[in-house]
Amino acid sequence: MSSPAAAPATDLLAVLQARFPAAVARPSGDHPAFDLPMAEVPAALRLLRDEHGYDLLIDITAVDWDVEASPRFSVVWHLLSSTAHGYVRIVAACADDAEPTAPSVVSLWAGANWHERETFDLMGIRFTDHPDLRRILMWDGYPFHPLRKDFPLAGIETPLPDLEVADLTKASVLPAPMMGGPFVASTGEMNLTEAEPRAKDESWNERNTKPAVL
């Protein structure tokens, strides 16, 4: 059975508003983008997938607009039509700034599982009805969400749960991965190892990391 043809970008707003009157276009410099109420997102994504050819879920992410903004958080879904090679972006604001939530779409795309876990881990968005919502990068019990605007660039020193890992660094705490940023990379022709970005301030690593033992 062939997939439905993707609706042209100029028709997508009408497509969405016919079923979801609250849908509005949002400014976008690349792909068609639309704001929807959070509760209508799963049905809208199903409509775009099943009836208008946007069959691939490319990404789920979130935006922390500002600590003082309200709504503070929005969740973003990126879809692709594998036949028309066109993208569409759906954005919905979280109603609760203190405990932001969004509906899971794992029932529509199995691959949403890891996207939602990453967004939960790094931004603190809880996806309702997710089958296994737990951290995917940071360890269970880590008390912060590193991509939020109020998380400092230099990180927050936090006790490690594994004493063996902590012992490798001669320290009981480790910084977040961005310790010492911002990061800079050299330009010009050189081998790729030398071109790897490094923090401007490497002093923490130099003080707390043992030399490798070969």
pTM for the structure as a whole: 0.75
Find the farthest-apart pair of alpha carbons in the chain and give their distance in angstroms, rounded. Answer: 66
Q: Which tokens in the block code for residue 190?
A: 């050189």
**Amino acid code (one letter) for 161:** P
Residues sharing a CB contact under 8 Å with residue 121, sequence separation 6 or more, in sequence order: 135, 136, 137, 138, 145
- Condensed to tens digits (0 to 9), the pLDDT of residues 129-167 reads 999 999 999 988 899 999 999 998 878 888 777 665 555
Each residue's pLDDT tens digit, 68-124:
999 999 999 999 999 999 999 999 999 999 999 999 999 999 999 999 999 999 999
* DSSP secondary structure code for residue 39 in this structure: G
The model's confidence at residue 171, banded by pLDDT at 50, 70 and 90, is very low
CA distances from 30 to 4, 59, 83 (A): 23, 16, 19
Give kind and range of the element (H or E) at residue 43: helix 41-52
Q: Are 38 and 94 in contact (CB under 8 A)?
A: yes
CATH architecture assigned to 9-128: 2-Layer Sandwich (3.30)
Identify the DSSP state of 16.
Answer: H
DSSP annotation of 7 reads P
Q: Give the residue extent of every domain in the chain.
A: 9-128, 158-208
**pLDDT for position 164:** 56
- Backbone angles phi and psi of 37, in degrees to 5: -60, 145
